[in-house]
Each structure stands twice: as C-alpha cells, then as structure tokens.
Structure 1
C-alpha cells in the first residue's frame, strides 16, 4: 500500500508480492510459451501412437496378424512403451546436459534426438526391431523435456505466477494430445485406413513440433539462475533485466539477482564436496533436501499408477470397451477427451494453482479422479463381459450406465489435469535449491518415465481376461481406484503449500519435523516471514521497504 491507496488484487495470484508492472511482459510470456511447448513432446506421442498402431497399414507392415492374442498385446505394449524406455535414459542424463551446456543448448540437442528417433521409426522398413529402436531414440529426447522445460520456466518466472507459468508446460502436454487425436481422426476420415503408409501423415506431427521448438531456442536467453551457478554474474544481471524489461540498476532486478546469488553462495558454503558424490550426499543426507526428494519421487509413483496416464494413452481402446464401437467414433470421442483435458489444464493454470494454491488444486483433482475411476470400476464389475468377450453386445438396459462410464472417463481427465499431471512437474521444478535442482529433477523424471513405462506396458495385459494373464478391465480400474485414494491421503498429510514463494525462500517450508511439514509447514513458514518482516522493519526504523534474510524484496507496505 502506498499513500493509503490499496493496489488491486491480481485474480491469478495466491499472494500479491507487489512486483513492478513491467515484470509481466511479452518477453517473459514468449519465453514461457517457447519452453512450455516442450510439454507437447509427451502429449503428441501419447495421442498419436495408439492411432498409428491401430492403422491396418501399420499393422500389416509388422505382420501383426501373424501373432497370437497375447503376443499382440505384448507387441502393442512394447511399441507404445518404448518411448518411455528411452525417456528413462533421457531423463537420467538430462541433469548432466542441463548443467554442463545450459538450458538452451540442452533443448536444442533433445530436439535433434527427438527428430532422429521419429525418422528411424517412420522409415522402419517392415522391421519391428527398427520400430523399437526409433521410438527408443525419440524417447532419449522426449525424456529430457520434463526436466529442461519446467526447470527453465520456474527459474525465470516471478514467484507470484510461477505456478501459472509452469502449468503452461502441462497445458502443452494436452495441446499435443488434442492435435494428435484429431490428426489421427482427420487422417482416418480423409485418407482412409487402406491407403499405403497412411499412419506416416499424423506421425509427422512429431517433427513439426521438434523443429519449431528448435528454432524458438535461438530467440531466447539463458536462465539467469544457471548463469549465476556458472559464476557469470554480469551476464545474469543483463539477462534478468532483459526478461523483466527493467533497467539493470532497477531495485527489483538488483534485489532478485542478489537473492539468487546469496542463496547459491549459501548452498556452496554448505556443500559436501564439489564432485557428483557431494551433490548426491546433499540430496540424501541433508534432511530438508531428503524430504523434498521424498515428495518429488512419491508424486511420480502415485500419479502414474493412478491410471490417468494409461487412460490417455489407450483412450480409443477404453472407449471401445465402454461401448463406443467403430474406429472413427472412438477416435472422435478421444479427440474430444483431449480437448476436455486441455481446457481443464488451462483452467488449473489460470484460476487454481496460483489462486487457491497447489495443494488444494491437487486434492480437488484427486477427488474428481477418484469418483470417476470408482464409477467405471463398478460398471465394469457389473458388466464383466465388456472388454473380455469380443462377441458380447451391450443390452439396451445397460446403455445409460455405459454413457455414464464414458462421461466418467472425461471427468477423470479433468481431475488428472487439475491435480496430478500439473503437480508432478510443478512441485518437482520448484522444490529444490539451485545447486541440486537439475540433478534432483532429473532423478524424479527418471522415476516418472520408469513408472510410466511400467504402467503403459502393463495395462494392455491387465485388461485381458484372467485366463490370458490379466485381471480384467474391472479389476484394472479397481486397482487405479485404490492408488488414487491412497494418493489423496498422502497429499493431505505430507505435501506442503509452495505457492507464492520465491525459489530461494522455499527452505523455510521445511523447518518443522518431517511429520508436520505437510499439515503445518506453510503456516509455520508464514509466521517466520512475518517475524522476519517485523524484525527488519524495527531494524530499519520504520522504513517503507524491507528485505528478507537473503536480500530479496518481500513486500512494500505503509508502516
């Protein structure tokens, strides 16, 4: 407040941190959107591969009909999941690339790997082995995207809208899914399923996105936090000034750079050695960091096994199980499903994650997802023939329940977009201190893709009848229901609210004993903030502006 006039509250923010107006400028949004497009890598693949695989011309190219039903399920699972296998390796090496050559060059090399892998896949020459190899190489690039993209965005975004900015990455996951679903649908309707190599047309969407992102990197600046980590302080100041659209000597820019540098120097003083073993010791042996790593890893496990990722990947098959017959119809409703998730992701980014907070948005999403998967599980239990007996015809008396189950697929997508899918990237990107941010995020994303691989690899087999080694569609959804409920309880007890904090002040969330952090960590951190504010006001003799313990401007108030 200044002169007794209250500043308007921004409806997109959980906290009003009084940033200068120029901070929210076109250069910031251009950078956020450019790196947010990396999210489309996963979305494009998840949306395209099922439609491409179900193309008769693709199946003919790998002699799919010559295999048994169980072998076909395994081949489909392997082709779908091979990108996840490559992504495990890609995520594992992402921190090395990200910290050695920077966020910008890391993005360029992953785009080249992505294009190379898809080129091998598209020119596989009737070889199933080449299909696997191409998708593995593409995965090496795709696996780096959830490390490089969210880390860069979190490092350049102002604290008050960091959630919104990072969730643009999530929104682009669904943008990729929507475009992929409708590209499949358009190719099916306009080209037909008997045209040779029809599946190549939608698959080229991979190359379009990778090429666009590669070009956009030449219009962006390196992360100021990365530059400070490399000791390039003057360049970091100039870059931050450019991103914030403020002069280099502006108090906001100077205080932000000072805070980042002070926090990094504090980290370096507490280092357990400059080698990679020292970094690992800091992650696992410093209690604050260990708890953050526990949160980041647990999020990946619980989110992936809640089943929503598999619903996205195998949407046409699941809609067919629930009563949507015909290739065109299943592709169309899958496309609408992608739109629903995209709108939900944008709604979460704009009106929830920085407004009601990360934790509430996550719990709301999990609740919707739990309601949906429990209903679907109950319906498939009541009609056990669905998805098991290919000759079974759904009676008219079950039509209403079938439509309800189809609607619940959409609701589960909304819940996933509001909850787990946004938070698995956002929390991971913003929890960790600068020195270990890239390696910790890389480790979390490695687990992310390992679980995604296991999930996407297992689901086609789990959906089979018990006599074929599965647990039936009903049993599969009961499993998803149990994990979703468990995840909600875990979030309630263990996850703190991180909204509205600078990356450098995040440590205060973890001052309590580990078993109290999730329930009381944010309140405790706010009390520390208030105490620091009051103490500094007293020390400054009632000055109008004051800074926190690392020199970052926190508030501007009338005293």
Structure 2
C-alpha cells in the first residue's frame, strides 16, 4: 500500500495507532485505484495505435491528406475526453444520491461497455465507444480520489489519494510498451489482432474493479452527512479497526459530525440549487472552488496531454526517426513517469507535502518546454517533422533528455497535486459538486488540447511548446501565492484555513499542530480537559480537608 510506504517516513503516521493501517484499508485502496488504469491505458496507447498500419487500414486512415488525417486522428483521440467531461458532470448526482461506493461501480460498468465497443472495427462504433468509455473515465477520475480521500487516515491521505495517479502512470507505461511490442509484429498490416491487443488490455482493470467494489464499505463521511450517523461510525470503526470509544476514532468522528452540523445550520438541504448558492456566496467555499479549478487549468496548460497522446509524433519532431524507435523512446518516457510517481506517492506527498514538490516540478516542466520551443525553432532544417536527418542530432538528444526531465517534474507536481488537493479541501456536502465541476473543466480543456494538438504541431510547430512554457511559468506564480500546504491537516480543518484571503495563503502555507485539527473540536476537547482537571483538583482539595 502506498500509505504503508509513507508510514516509515511520515512523522504524523508514526504517532498514529498501528491498527488503522490494516488489510481492509489496503483492499479498499487497491480496489478504487484500479480506476486510474481507465485513463492511463487509453492516453498511453491511443497515440501509438493511431500509427499502427493495421489500425489505419481498419478505420480508413490510409490515403488521406495530412489535413484530413490530422482531423480524424484528433477526433478519435479527443472523443474519450469529450465523454470524460460529460461523465465528470454526471458523477456528482450519482455520488450524492447513490452513494460513493455504488457510483464507482456504476461508472465502472459504463467504462467496460464503452471499452468493449472500441474493439469493433467500425469508425462510428469506435467513436461512440470512446465517448461512452470516456464517460466512465471522467466519472471515475472524480469519484476515485474522492472515495480514497474520504476513507484515508489524514497522515497518509496524500499517498492514498495519489495512488489513483500512480495507477494512471503505471498503466500509461504499460500501454507505451504494449504499443512498442505490437509494432514489432511483422505481416500484421491487415490483421486486427495487432491494434485490438493494444486497445483491449484496458478491459482487465475495469473488470477487476467492478468485481471487488461490492466488498468495500461506504465512506463514513458520506453516511454521516446523509444523517446515517450510527452506520457512519460503524464503518469508521471497521476501516480503522479500532473501537468506537478509542480517542483516534472519537476525534475523527467528532470532526466529521461538527462539520456536518455546521453545514446544516448554515444551509439546510442537499439540492443542487442550495449547494451552488453555498459555493458561490460563501467566501470560504468559493476560495476553495476557485483554487481547485485554477489548479486543474494549470495542470492542463502544461501540455501533458499533447505529450501523452502524441508522444511518438513529438519525438519524431525533435529528430527521432523510425516508428519503432519513436515508440521505444516513448516507452522509456513512461518508465520515468512510473518511477518518479512511486517516489512521490511513497515518500514526498506525506512527508514533504503537496506545495513544494508542485512548485519545483512545474518549474522543471516550464524550463523543459522552453528548451523544446527554442531547439525546434533554431535547429538546422527548421521545425518540420518531415526533415530527413541521419540519426538524431545532438540538440535532439538533449531534447529527449528535456522531455524526460519534463516527465520527472510532472510526476511529482501537476500530475498528482490537483487531484489530491481537490479531494481534501471541500466540505462533504459540496465536495461532489465542486469536484465534478473541477473534473469537467479538466476534461473539456483536455478535449480541446487533444483535438487541436495535431493541427498545432503542424501549423505552429515550436510555438506550441513556447505557449505551454509561458502558461506553466504563470502557474508557478499562482501556486506560490495561493496554494497552502494540506499535509497533516484534517479534511474538516480546511474550514478554518480558508477563512483567510486566498492571495495571502503563502504567509500561512504550513500548519501549526493546533491548525491540523478543526478549531471547534479542539475547543470542545480542551473544555472537557479543563473540566476533568477542575474535578481532579476539587477531589484533591476535599481529601486535604
């Protein structure tokens, strides 16, 4: 378990009861994290699949002009992200009315149906399948981090939530290498087994998640927020493997209950009209909403989708020649992603935190993109991917290294931070709505970038990378001033944190021990302690008398 790794390095986890890191929590983690493979396999293999002769023959991509090929390739790749934006919006009502657990199951089934349709060698069916599968991907991208964050002990919440992203990059790397493997098959130009092997692998994690999720308990925070306090406390004791009277369980339960009561007193009801009004009229809620949306936008403006979906074409643009060579180079790119994300999930996120790795990682990404822009602009032969150069030039080799550095920075920065932050900063009552909108923005921008990338690379060339560099540097400035550190804070204590103006968060970025627990719960506990102390003092006085 990612959280188990963090236990050995996180100060907070070392002081927690050992019982809370148990097999039941591990099973929940693995089950829900499978959903990360939905997005990872598709984003990793579709760019390579589009270059396979068997796929081109099956879907009528041969003999097209460059403009027609760019248009059709962009549509195929982007259809999943279009579905993702719709799925992200639909996930909120299912999460609130069906519950977190059965929503994850429902959208897993939707994904499996869409993935199965993509195995049919028909262009229209392929697009429909990618849209339907995309709905499952988009919904799961919101539901899985939410489910993991709501069930995690706060000392390993970052690593548990980020395990979803670890599964994305692991499956992304596997997809890259699957593409490389099938590209070496000879005589398969008219055999659909080549591209179906690469595309069909995504069915495995979808089936595993749907088979395992019925055995996972519903999140205590959802149950308590719905008024099912006894069931919520029961599930909390199951997950933590501690009795209800244990101080750890009592503190966590008291914080959840206190936030629920506060929300109900401020706004009654769970209708979306009430929730939307609560988001936009409550300063604390709106600041959280604005921060999360901006993090997702800057997450996309780094250009990662262009690299994920069209990595082979981009490697060719900087001088890597040959279909198998570009896929091999892309496979190494995937390995860098996995290794760095393991480092982030296992060590950085719950020891160093979310803020500093994001600032460093984004700066590395921006600098790498700037180099690519300048190299492609000033390299001999211009920026055309059709230039014939014997081997890869020295500047192109540096370009490959810069892409790997970009990958390194991405994997412990923008790759994970926005998912973790969005899952942990919102109150339970508005969490589904806010996360749903964040992921809708994420997917709709993803759709635009994915569809536009082939045209951008053809028409803008080096300007594509310069644009990404400028936007990523702008994101670094925003993150520095507006993103506080979430490490060690309880989800419910975020209410106190966001009473401050967003642009002053850099002054209060790192929490004190007192700020890690919700203030009203602390005061209640302190009042109880004072009362007990007074009683003890009275007993001592009476004894003396």
Higher alpha-carbon deviation: 375-384 or 517-526: 517-526
1:115 matched to 2:120? The reply is: no
CA distance in 1, matches of 2:273, 2:527: 43
1:492 matched to 2:480? The reply is: yes
**What is the root-mean-square deviation in Å for CA atoms of aligned residues?**
2.3
Deviation readout 1:56-110 (Å, 9 max, x if unpaired): 1211122212432111111111100100000110000101111111122111111
Q: Does the aligned pair in 2 maintain the 1:55–1:193 contact within 8 Å?
A: no
Quickly say closer, same or farther: Cα 1:192–1:383, change in 2 above 3 A.
farther
Of 436, 456, 473, 1:442 maps to 436
Q: Does the aligned pair in 2 maintain the 1:55–1:199 contact within 8 Å?
A: yes
Partner of 2:500 in structure 1?
512
Partner of 2:151 in structure 1?
156
CA distance in 2, matches of 1:73, 1:10: 48
Residue 16 of structure 1: CA displacement?
Answer: 5.4
Partner of 2:172 in structure 1?
177
Quickly say closer, same or farther: Cα 1:65–1:38, change in 2 above 3 A.
same
Quickly say closer, same or farther: Cα 1:528–1:250, change in 2 above 3 A.
closer
1:402 matched to 2:396? The reply is: yes
Partner of 1:459 in structure 2?
453
1:413 matched to 2:413? The reply is: no
CA distance in 1, matches of 2:61, 2:390: 32
Quickly say closer, same or farther: Cα 1:120–1:287, change in 2 above 3 A.
same
1:429 matched to 2:417? The reply is: no
Paired residues for 1:76-87 under 5 Å = 76-87=73-84
Partner of 2:489 in structure 1?
501
Q: What SS does structure 2 have at the residue aligned with 1:488? A: helix
CA distance in 2, matches of 1:34, 1:386: 49
CA distance in 2, matches of 1:241, 1:223: 11
Partner of 1:217 in structure 2?
213
Partner of 1:361 in structure 2?
357
Partner of 1:6 in structure 2?
none
Q: What SS does structure 2 have at the residue aligned with 1:122? A: coil
Residue 132 of structure 1: CA displacement?
Answer: 1.4
Quickly say closer, same or farther: Cα 1:219–1:506, change in 2 above 3 A.
same
Q: Given the two structures, how large is their TM-score scaled by the length of structure 1?
A: 0.89
CA distance in 2, matches of 1:122, 1:528: 49
CA distance in 2, matches of 1:524, 1:18: 16
Partner of 2:529 in structure 1?
540
Partner of 2:465 in structure 1?
477
Q: Given the two structures, how large is their TM-score scaled by the length of structure 2?
A: 0.91
Residue 538 of structure 1: CA displacement?
Answer: 7.8
Q: What SS does structure 1 have at the residue aligned with 2:480? A: helix
Partner of 2:272 in structure 1?
276
Of 383, 390, 393, 2:388 maps to 393
Q: Does the aligned pair in 1 maintain the 2:493–2:519 contact within 8 Å?
A: no
Q: Does the aligned pair in 1 maintain the 2:255–2:518 contact within 8 Å?
A: no
CA distance in 2, matches of 1:535, 1:274: 27
Partner of 1:41 in structure 2?
38
CA distance in 2, matches of 1:244, 1:272: 30
Of 291, 309, 315, 1:313 maps to 309
Deviation readout 1:164-203 (Å, 9 max, x if unpaired): 1111111011011011111112222246542510201111
Q: What SS does structure 2 have at the residue aligned with 1:64? A: coil
Quickly say closer, same or farther: Cα 1:32–1:108, change in 2 above 3 A.
same
Residue 220 of structure 1: CA displacement?
Answer: 1.1
Structure 1 residues not aligned, in runs of 5+: 1-8, 465-469, 545-559
**Paired residues, number:** 526
Higher alpha-carbon deviation: 327-336 or 38-47: 327-336
Partner of 1:30 in structure 2?
27
